[in-house]
């Protein structure tokens, strides 16, 4: 019997499925809200760029605000 392992979830998938979709944000709106370029968000979502510590901290502030307003 062989066990199948699911491929790891990428940061881009997490951002797209559990952050943008959950809070109803577009990539452009998130980029503007956290003060980075929309291209950076698009590259992260499309797994062409890693999430830097700076981007993670900026995104975290939006996440906390969205959670507290709901």
> 14 burial class (0-12, 13-18, 19+ CB within 10 angstroms)?
middle
In the CATH scheme, what architecture does the domain 11-69 have? Orthogonal Bundle (1.10)
Distance CA 23, CA 3 (A): 35
Q: For residue 7, count other CB atoms closer than 10 A to its CB.
A: 6
pLDDT at 23: 85
Domain chopping of the chain, boundaries: 11-69
pLDDT tens digits for range 5-60: 888 999 999 999 988 998 888 999 999 989 999 999 999 999 999 999 999 888 88
């Amino acid at each position: 019997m062989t066990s199948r392992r699911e491929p790891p979830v990428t940061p881009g998938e997490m951002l797209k499925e559990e952050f943008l979709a959950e809070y109803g944000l577009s990539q452009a709106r998130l980029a503007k809200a956290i003060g980075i370029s929309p291209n950076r968000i698009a590259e992260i979502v499309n797994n062409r760029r890693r999430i830097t510590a700076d981007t993670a901290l900026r995104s975290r502030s939006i996440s906390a605000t969205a959670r507290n307003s709901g």
